[in-house]
Amino acid sequence: MDEIGFNIMDREALWLAPYAMHSCDTAGREYDEPSHPYRGPYQRDRDRIVHSSAYRRLAHKTQVFAGEKGDYHRTRLTHTLEVASIARTIGRVLRLNEDLIEALALMHDIGHPPFGHAGEDILDEFTRDWGGFNHNQQAVRIVTQLEYRYPEFPGLNLSKEILAGQRVRDKRRSDGPRLQPLLEVQVVDAADSIAYDAHDADDALELGLLEMDDLLAVPLWEEAVDRVKSRYAALDAKPFRRAVIHQILEMLVSDLVESTCRRLEVSEVASPEAASGSPTRLVAPSEAIFEQKSDLEKFLFTRVYRHPVILTERALAGDALREMFHQFSQFPERLPQSARARLEQDGVARVVCDFLAGMTDRFALEEHRRQKNT
């Protein structure tokens, strides 16, 4: 590696903690490539993810709320960017590899189909005899097989640490005993949880599915409200709500950093392997905040994710995907040529699943209308 490349490694050696994943220790890629003169391996991974088609499509995929309701609430893309921001903040304090963290964060949701978890449930229903559908598995499938951006290899040829970090997110895995992932992976998981705890409540309030007073039943929310009131004498409704959301993020991130630092100090881990060998996750909130987060998540499940408006949208979206799955399965010749080329290798059900999963909400609705009218 040339002088510029050595400088990348030198900077990591000076800054990163011994338990961080250093670029020089990467297990490499499935297809060997020469190193880049001024970008480390995980920075290259980040760039490949950002330039992928699957990443761009996140801008038009549902996070929780469908796009017809306005432009304020999160899409999969804005959620992804918020997770990356939170994760990099945490990773910098812990002196972890920020390039690896950012790549993991930007990739973590690219396997999601249209219409959020409603879409995932439908695709899983129709592919259970072929291994089912899980957005974490699908993300790996996308970056190893389905994206075609380079002439030398299929997929994006990402570093093995990125692929392993995504695979460990699949809660249904049964490929042997579960070991703790790299600390960088743990940080992204924690940041994801923090992001949707705060932002799903924010979106629900903006859309009128909740009122501020409803959330006062949740201790974490109530404490954040008290802190904002003690700092600001009077705020209008919207600035007040946003100040509360900021306060919740501050509380959750600060607690996570402090409790993780204590665990790292007590455990005396001195390598990424030692951190992964811990019997419990080292990047985790304190017990008190964990309980408060759990209370908030239970509240969001019953009052937001199970809200009649959301359930109605889920049912309509599910019907659309269900009908399209039957249509394309019965008439696979209607699939685009790139999908038809994989029919013999992957089978009709998996190819149709891949095609539907790659759709944005808007394209899926347009395709469904087109099929209904023909």
User: What pLDDT shows up at residue 258?
Assistant: 98
What pTM value is reported for the model? Answer: 0.93
In contact, 59 and 77? CB cutoff 8 Å: yes
Q: Residue 44 and residue 41: Cα distance in Å, rounded? A: 5
Bridge-partner residues for 62, per DSSP? 75
- Segment 16-38 mean pLDDT: 94
Q: Residue 276 and residue 71: Cα distance in Å, rounded? A: 40
Best CA proximity match to 272, nearest among 27, 20, 98, 103: 20
Q: Residue 1 and residue 221: Cα distance in Å, rounded? A: 51
What's phi and psi for 229, nearest 5 deg? -60, -35
Spell out the residues 6+ positions from residue 141 whose beta carbon is closer than 8 angstroms to its own: 111, 354
- Segment 93-107 mean pLDDT: 98
DSSP helix/strand/coil, 274: helix
Q: How far does CA 304 lie from the centroid of its chain? A: 20
What is the tens place of the pLDDT at every residue in 255-272?
A: 999 999 999 999 989 999
Q: Is pLDDT above 80 for 72? A: no
DSSP 72-122: SS-BHHHHHHHHHHHHHHHHHHHT--HHHHHHHHHHTTTT--TTHHHHHHH
3-state secondary structure 2-27: CHHHHHHHHHHHHHCCCCCCCHHHCC
Local confidence band at 317 (pLDDT 50, 70, 90 cut-offs): confident
Local confidence band at 313 (pLDDT 50, 70, 90 cut-offs): confident
Here the tokens at position 282 are: 């080292």
Q: Is pLDDT above 90 for 228? A: yes
Between 309 and 184, the higher pLDDT residue: 184
Structural domains for the chain: 3-31+38-310 (1.10.3210.10)
Local confidence band at 303 (pLDDT 50, 70, 90 cut-offs): very high
DSSP helix/strand/coil, 373: coil
Q: Residue 144 and residue 43: Cα distance in Å, rounded? A: 18
Which residue's entry shows tokens 């959330």?
A: 215
Spell out the residues 6+ positions from residue 203 whose beta carbon is closer than 8 angstroms to its own: 63, 64, 65, 72, 73, 74
User: What pLDDT shows up at residue 188?
Assistant: 98
Q: Is pLDDT above 50 for 1? A: no
Q: Is pLDDT above 80 for 176? A: no
Considering only 57-66, 68-77, 232-241, 287-296, which range has the smallest mean pLDDT? 68-77
3-state secondary structure 21-67: CCHHHCCCECCCCCCCCCCCHHHHHHHHHHCCHHHHHHHHCECCCCH
